[in-house]
Amino acid sequence: MIRFDIPFNLKQFDTKHLEKLGANQPNSQYFAGCLLIAMPSMEDPYFKESVVLLLGHDDSKALGIVINKPTGYMQFGVPNEHGDAEIDHSTQLPVYSGGPVDGELAMIVHSHCRTEYDTTQVVNEYFSITSNIMILEDIYRGEGPAYNIFSLGYSSWEPGQLESEIQANAWLVSNSSLELVFKTSTDEKWSAAIRSLGVNLAHVSMTGGSA
């Protein structure tokens, strides 16, 4: 059963280094707010050709949401004249698999908006994350954030794990943008993210872990 909750607090991450070098600077020690782009040689089938928006990252852990693995659609129920719920087939919200951790946990990555939701946490200057049924209702009514990704589950790395994977050339690291995260079609996000680094996709398997 889907539930709404965020089992972490992004404010608890150590952001001193990020504040010094810029929270969206991929040459910094920590990569919160950046994109992880799976190398073609990625062995984990779950993360093959995946793009991950990192929500938080410091020396204690890393957390992120995969933004290019759709699993289906959510349809909204609206009350009919008898007070019963009927499916509104005219509105479908894509559902993404955000990672292998806690697949029943619903979170919405979205652009900043005027409405304040009680579970909203700010990722960086572009993105926030919210786990609240109210934001879904606003999205359905066309009153929610301009851009959003509805995700079930998330991705998590133990201390030093992500750094080791990057050094082993499992991931490229890129700056994030509204264009890449929200405005690029799902099936193009992986290749577009690689191209944004100025890397030739035909030779990317020979490229190092970050750029």
Q: Is residue 44 helix, strand or coil? A: coil
Q: How confident is the model at residue 19 (pLDDT cuts 50, 70, 90)?
A: very low
Is the Cα dihedral 171, 57, 64, 124 positive or negative?
negative
Per-residue confidence (pLDDT) for residue 102, from 0 to 100: 94
pLDDT tens column, 46-96? 999 999 999 999 888 899 999 999 999 887 766 555 555 556 656 788 999
**14 token code pair:** 């150590």
Task: Name the CA radius of gyration of the chain, rounded.
Answer: 18
pLDDT tens by residue, 152-200: 999 999 999 999 999 999 999 999 999 999 999 999 999 999 999 987 7
**pLDDT at residue 133 tops 60:** yes
Mean pLDDT of 83-111: 83
Q: How confident is the model at residue 6 (pLDDT cuts 50, 70, 90)?
A: confident
Helices in the chain by DSSP H: which ranges? Answer: 16-21, 133-141, 161-167, 178, 189-195
8 pLDDT more than 80: yes
189-210 pLDDT tens trace: 999 999 999 877 776 654 444 4
Sequence-distant (6+) residues with CB within 8 A of 119 are 4, 5, 6, 130, 131, 132
CB-CB contact of 144 with 151 (8 Å): no
Q: Which residue has the higher pLDDT, 113 or 205?
A: 113
Assigned token pair, 15: 């952001």
Specify the pLDDT at position 145.
94
Task: Judge contact between 153 and 131, C-beta under 8 A.
Answer: no
Q: Taking residues 104-117, report their average pLDDT.
A: 91
- Domains of the chain in start order, with CATH, are 3-206 (3.40.1740.10)
Q: Which of 133, 136, 129 is closest to 94 using CA atoms?
A: 136
**Tokens at residue 8, please?**
């972490």
- Residues 75 and 80: their CA atoms lie apart, in Å, by 15
Q: Most distant CA pair in the chain: distance in Å?
A: 62
- The pLDDT value given to residue 63: 95
pLDDT in the model for residue 15: 57
Average pLDDT over residues 115-128: 90
| First and final C-alpha spacing in the chain | 39
Closest CA to 58 of 38, 37, 35, 32: 32
pLDDT value, residue 186: 96
Q: What is the DSSP letter of 202?
A: G
The pLDDT score that the predictor gives to residue 210 is 41
Tokens of 202: 């035909």
